[in-house]
Amino acid sequence: MFKRLLVSIEITRPHNMLVAAFGVAAGYILSGGNSVAEMWPAALITAAVTGAGNIVNDCYDLQIDTVNKPRRPLPSGRLTYRAAAWLYGVCTAVITAGSFFFLPSKVALLVVSWQLALYLYARWAKRMFVVGNLLVAAVTSSVFLAGALLTGNAAAAAVPGRGDGSVMEECSKLVVLELGEAIAACRSGAIPDMKTEIGLLRLADHLGYLPQLGCFVDELPPEFAARHTPLGVSGCSAGSKRLKHPPR
């Protein structure tokens, strides 16, 4: 019996349920809410919706998971399809009843829409190009809305962030280096990003900077500067000549 309970919990993916509950809490706090008693029923029900969605998703993915995820509860045989379907039905009924009993009507209707969306996703939308992604994105993003609706101040949860919108504001820091120093930092691993290195090398080529020599083309003796050709700009003739005469 205890093992049956554990496998029933496993199929709901508790870590996903926890994330959904935190999403409701975040929306609630951002909207000015400060009552745990008001917030926790919505967080709990949202987590339950996520768990039920994972159950029905595993039911429809049974054949695929038999190959790709054979250790999951259904393909491994630790939980039967009939038991999973019964568990999903009970969860759906309890969630729906609990939503209209404990939550404001707007939040309860949102919960019902989640249940319908997750069922449609598992049944057919996930196999349709883009449709499934949009459906999941809509459900995921509206979790914050659920928390905001509890306070009656949903607009507060949608306040845009400050700044110019650059992703560098959130996950990077600005470092000012000379071009040669920046390229050297990429090659030494101090800047562990190949895309940055490629971008810097293209910039250097565009500006006529030679990182191997640490100087610009116009600083070279005239006979060497005349032989310089920016990569990808003047065609393949110069490159072909270099290939025919490799360095000794």
Please check the confidence at residue 147 and state whether its pLDDT lies above 80. Answer: yes
Assign 134 a pLDDT band (cuts: 50, 70, 90): very high
Architecture of domain 2-158: Orthogonal Bundle (1.10)
Indicate the pTM of the whole model: 0.64
Please check the confidence at residue 89 and state whether its pLDDT lies above 90. Answer: yes
Indicate the average pLDDT of the chain: 85
Query: How do residues 201-213 score in pLDDT, each as one tens digit?
Result: 888 888 888 888 8
Tell me where in the chain the CATH 1.10.357.140 domain(s) lie.
2-158
Percent of the chain with pLDDT over 90: 52
DSSP state of 219: G
